[in-house]
Every structure is written in C-alpha cells, then in structure tokens.
Amino acid sequence: MPIYPALAVVAAAAVLALELFVVRSGVLRTRAYWISMVIVLAFMIPVDGWLTKLSAPIVIYRDSDVSGIRPIWDILLEEYAYAFALLTLVILVWDRTEHRSGDRVPAGRPAKDDPYRTEQERVDAG
C-alpha cells in the first residue's frame, strides 16, 4: 500500500480508537459533530478540488505515494480520511479540555440551564 493512504488509514483509525477507548465523549453520536463535518467538507471539496484538479493541478502528488482513487472532483480518497481524522481529533481535544475546566458539559449532554431544553429534560437532569 502506498504511504499516503496508509498514513491516512492509520490516522483515522487512531482517532477512532482514541474516542472509543480513551476519551469516550460520545461526540460521534452528536448531531453537532456531523453538522461540523458537513460544513468542513462543503469548504474542503471546492478548495481541495481546485488545488488537485487533474486538468491544471497546483498540488501534484507522486503517483507511487497515493492510492489514485479520486471519488469527487479529483480529490484523493485519502484526503477525506485525513480530514475526518483532523477534524475529529480537534473536536475531541476541545471537548476534553472544556470538560476538564468545568466550564461546560461534555458533548451530547446539555447543561441544566440550557434554554432549549424541554421541561421534562430539566426534571430528568435533577
């Protein structure tokens, strides 16, 4: 396997393992996480696609280092794996540091004084 996709798979797997076995914040089950992923991809696809378009590339990869699989607008598949790993890692670190400081509740658990909570959610929270 070429080096770039191999590292992308390792990065994505490492971040998933970090969330599932160490941090365990539940962030992957939140709507906010997936909305942020869509927002990032909405900007990444046009920019990365323009930079790597095969018709006039600005960024050129050595063929022996990449998978060659380009599912959307000439963007290498491994770019999506790296984007997933990077975004997820940043959110995990952010969530973890905020949780430790005591300033907010971990992802997926609304604060007691959240104005968007229903009355039943307030009762259930105590």
Q: What is the DSSP string of 24-56?
A: ---GGG-HHHHHHHHHHHHHHHHHHHHHH-TTS
Residue type, 70: R
Can you give the pLDDT at residue 95?
Answer: 82
d(CA 107, CA 32): 9
Can you give the pLDDT at residue 96?
Answer: 80
For the stretch 31-66, what's the b/e string if a residue is b when 16 or more beta carbons lie within 10 angstroms of its beta carbon?
A: eebeebbeeebeebbeebeeebeeeeeeeebeeeeb
Residue 76 and residue 70 in contact, taking contact as beta carbons nearer than 8 Å = yes
Which pTM was predicted?
0.72
Can you give the pLDDT at residue 25?
Answer: 87
**DSSP-derived 3-state class of residue 4:** helix
Can you give the pLDDT at residue 116?
Answer: 54
pLDDT truncated to tens, each residue of the chain (126 aa)? 899 999 999 999 999 999 999 988 899 999 999 999 999 999 999 999 999 999 999 999 999 999 999 998 899 999 999 999 999 999 999 888 866 555 555 555 555 556 556 666 667 766
Can you give the pLDDT at residue 125?
Answer: 64
